[in-house]
A and B are shown apart, each in its own frame.
Chain A
Amino acid sequence: MARPSRDRTAGVRLLAVATLTLALAACGSQLEPGDVRTAGGTTAVDGTVPGADGAVPGAVVPGADPGAPDVPGTDPGATTPGGSTGGTGSTGGDAGGDTEGDSTGTGENAPTGTTEAGSCEGFDNDQTGVTADTITIANASDISGPVPGIFESAQLGTRAFAAYFNSTEELCGHKLEVLALDSRADAGSDQQAYQRACDETFAAVGSQSAFDFGGAGTAQACGLPDLRAYSLSTDRTNCTTCYAAYGVRPGQVPNAMPQFWVKKEPDAVEHVAMLYVNAGAAPENASAFRKAWEANGWNVDIFQGIDVSEFNYAPYVQQMKDAGIEFVNYIGPYQFTVKLQQAMAQQGFTPKVFLQDATIYDSAYVEQAGELGNGVYAYSQTNLFDDFSIAEMKLYRAWLDQVSPGAEPNIYGVYAWSAARLFVEEATKLGGKLTRKTLLAALAEVRDWTANGMHVPQDVGAKTTANCASVIQLDGGTWSKVSPGEFLCGSMSNLGS
């Protein structure tokens, strides 16, 4: 779906969080520090790459170095090499469990994909963040803050890919190191993190922060390529050196999803209620969606914001009952979705369709909603996390499990992994010509990026909204796809902006 949905609701969730009125911690990526401690290692990159041939998957467990626990953020400045490259590390770090056959890929799923590596001739080791044998990339995501671990999944996704890359590859003789920074759900901290990224790393990759406007100016000022998972604020989107795996352009809303519903539920779309949380970008998003969806034949009878501090959702449900609503769309954090659904259940109100964006495509929502969640629809710009027919998804899951055993996948993680892959592929292509400038130029040309089918095609370089989405439904705790084909794709409603 458009910029809106993901980027927006993520922002919403964050803002809500930061106003500290948001319900509880979200993300399934919430980790017990102990768990993390057993995960990724910080052994020095030594260039020996067992399993470089992809044949020894079991041995490529990112080794734990017990002496250097790397709880993300324990030391905000800790450099965490994406993964151990040494077989030495395979002791004690096997919490990842079954990595059998999942942790290596070939062809397009190989760490560098099928891109043709550029010549390494003339590689400049004298650039910021580059040494003779390492390239350091930064990841600045919200780890601590009011909701601890909220975007840790983005950092883990980035580290997971770096670990995967380091397990078999190097970039003109360089291993990847990830400088894990914590933007602390605070604009000032984001700025500070990006200042460090500017000073110490070659590029920032896979970052995700609620208040990402903080470091936008800093990144642009120092010419730092910032290839994010998502960009949430206008400032970040407008930053000339910033790109995101999940692209957005304000005012662009895809038509395929609403058209799908017109066909599937022609009566219900005549009686739509759109409710949104009154925080972050949700109100702006909601009104863009409303315009686009009405243009596609929906009829929105109720369009209303609900404050983050609201706890009595019954009046809103009553309004919907009075108005004969059959189709409910909610935009906001999943915790509030649960509250709304509780109130609906209490008032005996069961619309034909309850639809939300992929915010609720999250194990925490599934757990908290319980039976209430049965039958809800979501539209998502990724493929299903457990669709292991997609080799890349399998890789992501396997390496995520290795850098952080037990961590749940989510949309932020998927797009962070995707950003890291994109960085590696573009850098590999550039080879010896790799500089911040050439990388930026290359990123500007990226179109239809799907990270090997993990997600909908993204015009990263154009920074436009993706025009595809899939519709999925939750039933008995499991999501399954209800829209035909891989994704619903189509034209865009352009609402200006």
Chain B
Amino acid sequence: MSLLEVDDVVVQFGGVTAVNHASFVAEAGRITGLIGPNGAGKTTCFNVISGLQKPTRGKVRFDGKTVTNMPVHRRSKRGMGRTFQRLEAFGSLTVRENVRVALDIHRGLLGLVKPGAADIDALLERVGISAYAGERADSIPTGTARLLELARCLAGEPKLLLLDEPSSGLDESETDAFGDLLKELAASGCGILMVEHDMDLVMAVCDEIHVLDFGSVIASGLPAMIRNDPKVQKAYLGYSDEAPDESAALAGMHDSTHDTTVLPVVGAHS
């Protein structure tokens, strides 16, 4: 049984179908990539998995249990952590305090073991943002804030990490270090499901990749297979005018300005 199983999930907003019968899995100890053009439904999938969005149809199983209707915090208690594409750092707290809150939550407000400075330092050190410890979270660079979100997750010692575009905002060397960190985490047994636009990173670290387009999974497999899948090529190349970078990236080129891609989603289904 896989750590995470997404089973035939459908999400509709008004008349728009954002996720269309998507099914995929993520395994413990492995890094799974979830890619696709903008608007393909990747973040919506994350929301469904973490409990922030109720699916119109379908199921989510996590760690051997169906969690489709489980509240967000209970999924987290069961070992699910996530970061956000649009930052959800506690902006008016410092970086340290952000992590401290996460530790407080994890250990319980009435817990006897209060988080010490050492615990916090260790987490900051691990993701490499110790230098920012005293700054307000809304004043640090985007990439750093993403790492902060990761550090917060790690405070909860998760079994599964859902990372939503974790590397955007990081420069090349930071991205490399980040990739190493991911591998390290996976090696320690943590499952990682990652939405990522940086194809170099995806191809470098992922053990398996699922491709979403128009809310449906159009391909799943090893990085090499995905790279050469004609359907995937088409999903990206079909809109090459709007998204040259990603299709280019798929073809092995690197470009870091891929954040502005705008692709139309599925048309109104009426």
Do any beta carbons of A and B sit within 8 angstroms of each other in the complex? no
Residues of A participating in the B interface, judged by any CB pair closer than 8 Å = none
